[in-house]
């Protein structure tokens, strides 16, 4: 009987010890990271973007890839008009970022995309090489045939805006060349192949001191501003939607602001 009592006592002791302990795996801990149910992004993403976005979108693309190691972003930079035509002709684009609303409308009107969102703004400026060989001091100097002025082609956003600026200023210019995107205009100015030209303020900022902006009269400032809309092409995808959201988010907006772009508002 004494032996049985000892066995029962030992069993009770073991039971109490087991019941009072809590397995470590079920104990919540605030130091553990919360698990995410969102699947990791992966795959290739084709982004068609205006030439004026080349530097900042390359930076944003690198950030996006760093935050999503399974993603590879491929960029096609050119005039918005060229990119819109390529998309409407069936080019494999996942995202389109335009330097104006008109070329964005070209693809939304054909049903290639819908509900674009403005993510930034920019301003066209009159720029000259840093040494200003033609001594340009105002937009009126462009009427002098000895001043070699280069602009974007009329169908390109920077060309359309330049035409509006010149019209508002009452200045007639015969350009020495009409380029297919704003990067080509900036390059010609930087290489002293032209005396003056119209580029975006962000192009002057990115030139490393090679370009200088000439003040425009207040009467034309209102027509220099252009909105930049972005959209996922087609029916969209998780990857395309994620990139658009990234551009609209804190990191994308910070990169755009640092590059000199204005806020969407």
Q: What DSSP element (H or E) covers 150?
A: strand 149-152
In this prediction the pTM is 0.83
Query: Domain range for residue 52?
Result: 43-120+227-258
pLDDT in tens, 110-129: 999 999 999 999 999 999 99
pLDDT in tens, 43-82: 999 999 999 999 999 999 999 999 999 999 999 999 999 9
Q: What is the CATH number of the domain that holds 108?
A: 3.40.190.10
**Which residues, listed in sequence order, are joined to residue 190 by a DSSP beta bridge?**
none
Do 200 and 242 fall within a single domain? no
Q: From 157, 155, 126, 123, select the one nearest 50 (Cα to Cα).
A: 157
Do 106 and 132 fall within a single domain? no
Give how many domains the chain has, as a whole number. 2
């Amino acid at each position: 009987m004494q032996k049985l009592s000892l066995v029962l006592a030992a069993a009770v002791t073991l039971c109490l010890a087991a019941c009072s302990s809590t397995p470590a795996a079920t104990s919540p801990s605030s130091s553990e990271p919360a698990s995410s149910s969102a699947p990791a992004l992966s795959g290739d993403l084709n982004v068609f973007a205006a030439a004026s976005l080349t530097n900042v979108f390359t930076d944003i693309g690198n950030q996006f890839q760093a935050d999503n190691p399974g993603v590879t972003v491929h960029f096609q930079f050119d005039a918005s008009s060229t990119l819109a035509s390529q998309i409407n002709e069936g080019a494999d684009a996942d995202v389109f970022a335009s330097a104006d609303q008109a070329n964005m409308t070209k693809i939304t009107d054909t049903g290639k995309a819908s509900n674009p969102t403005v993510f930034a703004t920019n301003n066209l400026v009159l720029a000259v090489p840093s040494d200003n060989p033609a001594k340009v001091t105002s937009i009126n100097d462009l009427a002098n045939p000895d001043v070699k002025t280069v602009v974007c082609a009329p169908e390109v956003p920077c060309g359309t805006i330049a035409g509006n600026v010149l019209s508002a200023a009452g200045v007639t210019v015969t350009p020495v060349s009409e380029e297919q995107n704003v990067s080509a205009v900036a390059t010609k100015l930087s290489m002293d192949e032209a005396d003056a030209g119209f580029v975006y303020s962000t192009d002057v900022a990115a030139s490393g001191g090679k370009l200088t902006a000439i003040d425009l009269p207040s009467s034309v400032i209102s027509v220099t501003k252009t909105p930049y809309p972005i959209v996922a092409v087609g029916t969209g995808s998780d990857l395309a939607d994620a990139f658009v959201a990234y551009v609209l988010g804190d990191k994308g907006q910070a990169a755009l602001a640092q590059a000199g772009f204005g806020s969407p508002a």
